[in-house]
Structure 1
Amino acid sequence: MEVIVPCHDGHMSDEPELPPGYPVQWEADVVLRDGSVGHLRPIMPADEKRIRAFHARQSEESIYLRFFAPLRHLSDKDVHRFTHVDYEDRVALVITVRDEIIGIGRYDRTEPSSAEVAFNVSDHYQGRGIGSVLLEHLAAIAQEFGISRFTAEVLPQNRKMLTVFSEAGYEVSRKVEDGVVALHFDIEPTDRSKAVAMSREHRAEAISVSRMLRPRTVAVIGAGRSPQSMGHHFLKNLLAAGFTGEAHPVNGNAKKILGRKAYDTIGDVPGHVDLAVIAVPADKVLGVVDECAAADVDALLIVSAGFGEAAGDGGDELQAELVRRARGSGMRIVGPNSFGLINTDAEFSLNASLSPDQPPTGHLGLFAQSGALGIAVLASAARRNLGISTFASAGNRVDVSGNDLMQYWIDDEDTHAVGLYLESMGNPRKFSRIARNLGRIKPVIVVQSGVSSYGTPPGHRVRRTKVRPAVFGAMLRQAGAIRVSNVHQMFDVAQLVVHQPLPAGRRVAIVGNSSALGALSAGAVAQRGLTVTHGPVNLRSDATPEDFREALTKAFDDPDVDSVLTCFIPPIAAHDEEVTDAVRAAAQKSDKTCVATFLGMRGVDSSTSMDEGGASGQAIPIYAMPEDAAYALAKATKYAAWRNKDHGLPVAPAGINRRVAEDVVQTVLSVSPEGRRLDADETSALLSAYGIELWPSRAVETVEEAVQAAEDMGYPVVLKSTAPMLRHQGGITGVRVDLANDQSVREAWASLHERLSPLAADQLEVQRMATPGVACVVTADEDPLFGPVVSFGVAGLPTELLDDIAHRIPPLTDVAVSELISSVKAAPVLHGHRGSTPVHRAALADLIARVSVMSDDMPELVSLRLNPVNAHPGGVEVLGAEVTVAPIERRADPGRRSLT
């Protein structure tokens, strides 16, 4: 994120004067507890006037609680000490809104591993979680400099600050001395402290979205009298949907628009404005944003185009300035270039969009990015009679994204399933984390058309990725998301998971009135990995609705059936509605999943008929073809299995010394600031800090050196080439194994030199002979977009030729590690293929767990490759390792709350 220094006119300067050593990477926009945004940054000498103004606004009580004295005025010496820090032993952070400091947090190192921490929060902003945010960021920074413990002194009556410490998730010790509460606690992240931080992030971001989707007052800025104007459309649709709140047009050139009084500026609108819809030319937007900030508007929906998507016209710079001004003033943005927001809840009836018709009320939450797709998505849902709870179009996605909407949908009782159409993804690591939480209670259906360089739309801010597209699919599977290829498939799945119970298993019954359709249905079901355990039951083509009811009842009552697929070809004399009633009546008596294929029909059964007990039944999803029904059923079944399984516990291997590993990395980077590959000793030290033993090897240049190395290590040994080219040449052998004496070493040396010298691949090394086993590859890569990615494969042809490699995104659970091992196609060779003894799977899993924790802990670890990893019945040995470290600016999801 760029460093932004507020100017005295309230705007943001893009030419800041920064003090030496100013840590740009600590800057962050954070969502506060009430859903507003604050800008967190390190303090600077230029903040002297702001510090004095902040202190002058504080009450006498707040001053006393902070300084233990009625310090009404700060001395020049105090102000200088507060604002001049070294950004290591003395660190101070401020949170600002509209160029005004609203919170200060600082630590001062008192011992090599301990620092005293203190906070001061504006009286006008207390209760918004500012102290908690500052503590979280200070703790993360302190750990970068070897500080592991915080201390603090707090007056007993300062209950708010005591609460900040006690509720942060740390184990806090307290002691009262001389009327002051002395606290101390370790700041190493714990499962509890991480859970607290993520819970606070979730609540804050959910509230910020709620303020947009549940407004009481909406102002449409740029609403014109012309029916062709964008603002006119938004105001018209807002009023036509019956918005229950106040809707105000803002236009300085009109007195009334659509019967509503028009106001000259947003500042003239009476009362508080929750949501401002901005529909003015792009070059006017920044001025309007400043006016909204002055009017204390909560959130902005910007429908104007001409920003990042307008390449070559200064759109990127305009878009960046838009984000700076809005967030710097505490406001969140949907857009620009957004299609709009919809909330069908009758309490709000919000249609702040370009859709002329409000979608039917329902339980599917929808998110799209481009406006054109928004139109297609809403139209498709309407055709299927599939009701929507809420809809959002992110446009250029400069701020509010699908991650924010998912945070909101976790708690939204009106949303039972979620559909996301993603054209790009700015923070996959955070997406994975949030989607896992949402997916455990609600299905998440994802249509993905591009990731980073793979088809990113103009205007979307996305870091470039170095990983293969397969990593994105692995991330979705790990998060439990239901991945589909297009909108058609998304709604096929949605109409099932919204309106039917999830399948309890893979067993399917098929009932229909056509043998050809029954066979087609059975084939489609089997092709999707499901099993037909009942039928196909083929009724006569002229079967009556009662025949259908009876056959379906038998299918639902069969204990070997989890789901029922019924298919119907209507003869000339039959009535579709009568058959639909029969299907509905049979399904209402069962808690099993039901899907129907009525040729030529697609959507959701809209009947409101009641069952025999007077209760409203589940609507039946209807598909035009059996293949569509089988596809949706298979996706729902797979999701249900993921949701119901044991997801395991976070891996926490014993014997890890993170401080030693960090010392190794920082020592290397202090000498090689651009980063480099570690040498053998450095690699061994780094891996050892995480409990991974690297088998020693010795490079040799002569046969006598090889013999000596073998004697030092102890026979038997291996003599092998270190040339990288041989790893990719399956037909060339560059290794001699099981060398038991000096004569065998000499013979191996002569053989390899004769074979490899013409290829310039005769660089050799000696290593102790390992137990025969299965050679595996374990890697970890730090990707600019995805963050750490851990991969596993069986070495040799499976990985080099067949690309049989599995991926996961840390942090991992023990179940995720086990699934990573099992997910490669070559996994049977690990489990006793053709009578061989299975490898020590627990030891292999422990190694992968250690690699995952290391990669998650250390973003500077840009590449780690353990190859080969020898897995055998007695354990695993790491026979080779390559590690490259380099500095990185910041992860997209850095481990402390931040908008990216």
Structure 2
Amino acid sequence: MSSADDDVQAEGSTTPGAEPYPVDWEADVVLRDGSTAHVRPIRADDRETLQRFHRRQSERSTYMRFFTAMEQLSPRDLTRFTVLDHRDRVALVAVTVAPDGSEEIIGVARFDRIEADEAEVAFNVSDSHQGRGLASVLLEHVAVAAREVGIARFTAEVLPQNGKMLAVFREAGYETTQHVDDGIVTVSIDLDPTERSRQVMADREHRAEARSMLGLFTPGSVLLLASARGTAHAREARLAAAALAGGLVRGQRLVVVGLPALAVRDALGTHGTSDTFERYETVDEVPGTVDLVVVTARAADVPAAVVSLSRLAPRGLVVLSQGFAETGDEGVRLQRELVRAAHAGGMRVVGPASYGLFARRPDATFDATLRADPLPSGTIGLFCQSAPTAVTVLATVERRGLGVSSFLSAGNRADVSGNDLMQFWHDDDSTTVVGLYLESIGNPRKFSRIARRLSLAKPVVVVTAGRSGHIVPPGHTVRATRAPRRTLEEMFRQAGVIRAENTHQLLDIVQLLAHQPLPRGRRVGVLASSEYLAAIVAEAAGAAGLVVTGTPGILHEDAPDDEARRVVDAVYDDACDVVVAVHVPVLGGGVARFGAEVARAAARTGRPTVASVLGHHGIVPALSATAPDGSTVHVPAYSTPEDAVLALGSVVRYASWRSGDHGEPLAPTGVDALAARRVIESADDGPLPTEDVRSLLASYGIELWESVHVEDVEEAVAAARRLGWPVALKSTAESLRHRADLGGVRLNIADEAELRADHEAMCAALAEHVPASRRPDGSADVQLEVQRMAPSGVACVVRSTEDLLYGPVISFGLSGDAVDLLDDVSYGVPPLTTTDVAQMVRSIRAAPRLFGYKGLPEADAAAVEDLVARVSQLADDHPEISSLELYPVVVAERGAAVLSARVTLGAANRNDGLRRALPQ
């Protein structure tokens, strides 16, 4: 693809009027093979690096890019390609670290503006790095940069034989057209994001991040980098060495650097593998390559060590060492250096301050934790952040007899997070249920998107440190949030995530999901050893949203065996969806028989079952039986009946969500995002003038009813005549504009005489409420407006607030003081679906007023849902909208009238944008 530009500056100079270096365009990215690279704007000092990149390219690649043979770039070309203004002439490069430690360019994307909103784009990817998805990543990033500077469309000239580049454009998901002229294919790309382009990006992100996690869990070779300084680090190293040795399988290579030979042999000797490792004093001595590095060195030594490790081409780095961001500013600096060096060398980072990771998969066993004893294999995927929590969670897992497929502790979560693990578990056949302990969520929008996708395939159970998710532990970099505390809960609900109150409850739910099928409904059959216990279960079931059906089966501990079987089978053969079995022996008998009969019936019928049996907790042989297909069925045991029912209720609600209608992505008609963009770009930060608000809303199909500001009664009469009777007269004062009880609003004014009387009365009454605004003669400056009366209906309010952490947060509620005081408001975090919006409208406690409460006419719910959808799309598309309020919105039997609107603009600072990028 060619790109001509005759406006060339003198060598080494900068373009006059250039924008400041756009540091926000820098990003670390995960490529298709799971490795990492750094994307950034090109700089003037990249001349020699760019020349080396060009010289390494094959003759064919050079011809595809420039349509001619070029052995090297001329000084004029080097200046043209590296001295840019970051506005009309932009170039991004993907860089990585070469074996000698120098930075190398592996891909270039650039565009040159040719019209006000159009630019010519060109790409060039290193021959040695093709096939890793670099071109698609660069297209995403350069498209974001283009939209930021007002470019709406790319054009590219491509040779017909350049099929790879044509495929990149075709598969990106944007709207494209192409035509052939004089043997050149001209491609035109509309940069307005589409649902397909978003999905393409999400799919590529999913594959790359899942691949990078697979590399962490299945390394063929491992290097343990220890520190000779400090007893704590030496103990870490010994524990890690022992775990590594215990998890190694035939063919895996273990390399140890920095730990004395005797210490290594002591750590490995108990596993009979004391001779199956290589030991070196320094990283420079290690031959070949390694797949994964486990670090237990001093924090101050780690960044430099990571630079030297890049020669070995590892894909992952597990940092068990502490002393990073959790210790203060110096630790933050070290952590940033560590991550920067690792990503430049192609490595993902687990930690720092991690407890490690392990896999118990059928195709791979690997352990790089500080835990002495391995856990049995199973189907549960677990993620924890801090090491102390990991210790307690894994100890509880062991006590309950649960099996784990894979586990990872993210520590400070400097890079690898729960989002990465969810991407991996989605495709991991050995994992059937996912449990996450989250101390912080760095990117809630991405979490919601990934969790929703995973929850449709496998249950996701989450416990957070604190109900609101607002806690920021030491060492975690999380944006501040002002979102309501319920926002996180609403986000989980939208994504189908099962929320647990604590780790005990998390494992209660996980053990049920791992060992029992999903319920088909919420009808509960009760089997108990006494009427009293049956009553307790019934009460707990009602509180959990379940319905007890049939007559409880009472199996007394001294009942004969034939009666016991008859009672158990009667409960399981009844019309119920799940069974709760509870046995507390008063006389000390019947425990073994009760457990055996319940397990037998559960295995025979496949009916989901939970049990609370004295002396049993977790997965135990006494509650296990063989199913007709030969598989073993385990009925999970709980400490109390309430625990069992609480876990069951959570699973029933998840099963209902999973089998329900999740709606379609919002796609309101009549949307002109470019028109909205022009309004936003032409305005200053702060409150948007009314006419601009009207234009902005109109671009998303929202009509703002006209309201005329009037200075006196004559202007009021003239406005009413123009708008049409009847009209409303309102105060513009913030405290009074919606307060009819304080005289701030007069409605249904039918004629001129009534308007004149109401105007005089309002001016007199409102003067008492606006003492802060006075005319020179001392009279109150009462400001009024006239508006045509809307049809009668239910008054509502729709808002959007741009939050630093969550992005846009949409809220809906009915208007009025009581609603505000009681916080009867629903929340949604875009992107939303049609089902999400319908749920928002119906989930508030006052929702019956919209649906014929006490015989009143039903309001047009479809109209208000459409309005919420348009606000959601507007806020999601334009992060510059700091706040938006439609208040009041009158929802009549037909239609919804937006009577007033306010919009405030600010700088865009969204955490999750339209490009793939690792945490900054």
TM-score relative to the length of structure 2:
0.92
The answer for the alignment partner of 1:694 in structure 2 is 704
Contact 2:90 2:111 in 1 (8 A): yes
SS in 2 for 1:309: helix
The answer for the alignment partner of 1:229 in structure 2 is 235
1:297 aligns with 2:301: no
Q: CA deviation at 1:653?
A: 1.1
Contact 2:624 2:634 in 1 (8 A): no
1:394-473 → structure 2 map (5 Å cutoff): 394-450=410-466, 454-473=470-489
Q: CA deviation at 1:252?
A: 6.5
1:785 aligns with 2:795: no
- 1:211-258 CA-to-partner distances (Å, cap 9, x unmatched) read 111111111110669796211111112213445522221116547712
- Structure 2: how far apart are the matches of 1:105 and 1:366? 39
Q: Residues 730 and 371 (structure 1 numbering): CA distance in 2 closer, same or farther, change over 3 Å?
A: farther
SS in 1 for 2:548: strand
- Identify the range of structure 1 (78-87 vs 393-402) with the bigger mean alpha-carbon deviation: 78-87
1:134-533 → structure 2 map (5 Å cutoff): 134-222=138-226, 229-244=235-250, 245-251=252-258, 253-254=260-261, 257-258=264-265, 259=274, 260-311=277-328, 314-450=330-466, 454-533=470-549
- 1:794-815 CA-to-partner distances (Å, cap 9, x unmatched) read 0003432111110011111111
Contact 2:155 2:186 in 1 (8 A): yes
Q: Residues 395 and 727 (structure 1 numbering): CA distance in 2 closer, same or farther, change over 3 Å?
A: farther
The answer for the alignment partner of 2:760 in structure 1 is 750
1:811 to 807, 831, 835: 831
Contact 1:241 1:351 in 2 (8 A): yes
- Structure 2: how far apart are the matches of 1:741 and 1:241? 87
2:723 to 682, 694, 713: 713
- 1:277-334 CA-to-partner distances (Å, cap 9, x unmatched) read 111111111111111123222111111111111125x112222222222222221111
- 1:633-671 CA-to-partner distances (Å, cap 9, x unmatched) read 1000000011111111111111111111111111113xx
Q: CA deviation at 1:160?
A: 2.2
- Structure 2: how far apart are the matches of 1:141 and 1:647? 33
2:617 to 580, 598, 602: 602
SS in 1 for 2:605: coil
Contact 1:482 1:639 in 2 (8 A): yes
Q: Residues 795 and 217 (structure 1 numbering): CA distance in 2 closer, same or farther, change over 3 Å?
A: same
- Structure 1: how far apart are the matches of 2:398 and 2:808? 41
- Structure 2: how far apart are the matches of 1:466 and 1:451? 15
Q: Residues 796 and 664 (structure 1 numbering): CA distance in 2 closer, same or farther, change over 3 Å?
A: same
- Structure 2: how far apart are the matches of 1:727 and 1:599? 64
The answer for the alignment partner of 1:80 in structure 2 is 79
The answer for the alignment partner of 2:910 in structure 1 is 891
- Structure 2: how far apart are the matches of 1:481 and 1:770? 41
Figure out how many residues of one structure are paired with residues of the other and give that number: 875
The answer for the alignment partner of 1:561 in structure 2 is 576
- 1:106-150 CA-to-partner distances (Å, cap 9, x unmatched) read 122333443322211111111100011111222233233443333
The answer for the alignment partner of 2:713 in structure 1 is 703
Q: CA deviation at 1:684?
A: 0.8
The answer for the alignment partner of 1:799 in structure 2 is 819
Q: CA deviation at 1:779?
A: 0.5
Q: Residues 545 and 619 (structure 1 numbering): CA distance in 2 closer, same or farther, change over 3 Å?
A: farther
- 1:3-24 CA-to-partner distances (Å, cap 9, x unmatched) read xxxxxxxxxxxxxxx9743222
Contact 1:721 1:765 in 2 (8 A): yes
Contact 2:662 2:835 in 1 (8 A): yes
1:532-571 → structure 2 map (5 Å cutoff): 532-544=548-560, 546-558=562-574, 560-570=575-585
- Structure 2: how far apart are the matches of 1:685 and 1:169? 29
- Structure 1: how far apart are the matches of 2:550 and 2:289? 61
1:645 to 660, 668, 684: 660
Contact 2:290 2:314 in 1 (8 A): yes
Q: Residues 622 and 658 (structure 1 numbering): CA distance in 2 closer, same or farther, change over 3 Å?
A: same
SS in 1 for 2:414: coil
- 1:444-475 CA-to-partner distances (Å, cap 9, x unmatched) read 11101148983210110000001111111100
- Identify the range of structure 1 (387-396 vs 103-112) with the bigger mean alpha-carbon deviation: 103-112
Q: Residues 51 and 705 (structure 1 numbering): CA distance in 2 closer, same or farther, change over 3 Å?
A: same
- Identify the range of structure 1 (171-180 vs 378-387) with the bigger mean alpha-carbon deviation: 171-180
Q: Residues 281 and 452 (structure 1 numbering): CA distance in 2 closer, same or farther, change over 3 Å?
A: farther
Alignment RMSD, CA only? 2.1
- Identify the range of structure 1 (736-745 vs 630-639) with the bigger mean alpha-carbon deviation: 736-745
1:649-660 → structure 2 map (5 Å cutoff): 649-660=664-675
- Structure 1: how far apart are the matches of 2:548 and 2:623? 31
- 1:62-106 CA-to-partner distances (Å, cap 9, x unmatched) read 222222222111111111111122323322111011221100011
Matched letter for residue 815 of structure 1: T
Contact 1:608 1:616 in 2 (8 A): no
- Structure 2: how far apart are the matches of 1:515 and 1:268? 73
Q: CA deviation at 1:170?
A: 3.5
Contact 2:541 2:645 in 1 (8 A): yes
SS in 2 for 1:651: coil
- 1:723-765 CA-to-partner distances (Å, cap 9, x unmatched) read 2223797953421111111221222223323332122174322
- Structure 2: how far apart are the matches of 1:419 and 1:829? 39
- Identify the range of structure 1 (488-497 vs 605-614) with the bigger mean alpha-carbon deviation: 605-614
Contact 2:603 2:627 in 1 (8 A): no
- Structure 1 gap segments, 5+ residues each: 1-17, 670-674
The answer for the alignment partner of 2:774 in structure 1 is none
SS in 2 for 1:725: coil
1:589 to 604, 612, 618: 604
Contact 1:602 1:622 in 2 (8 A): yes
Q: Residues 723 and 549 (structure 1 numbering): CA distance in 2 closer, same or farther, change over 3 Å?
A: farther
Contact 1:30 1:899 in 2 (8 A): yes
Q: Residues 815 and 250 (structure 1 numbering): CA distance in 2 closer, same or farther, change over 3 Å?
A: same
Q: Residues 609 and 800 (structure 1 numbering): CA distance in 2 closer, same or farther, change over 3 Å?
A: closer
The answer for the alignment partner of 1:9 in structure 2 is none
Q: Residues 381 and 695 (structure 1 numbering): CA distance in 2 closer, same or farther, change over 3 Å?
A: same
Contact 1:607 1:619 in 2 (8 A): no
Q: Residues 821 and 123 (structure 1 numbering): CA distance in 2 closer, same or farther, change over 3 Å?
A: same
The answer for the alignment partner of 1:734 in structure 2 is 744
- Identify the range of structure 1 (255-264 vs 45-54) with the bigger mean alpha-carbon deviation: 255-264
Matched letter for residue 303 of structure 1: L
- Identify the range of structure 1 (18-27 vs 862-871) with the bigger mean alpha-carbon deviation: 18-27
TM-score relative to the length of structure 1:
0.94
The answer for the alignment partner of 2:882 in structure 1 is 862
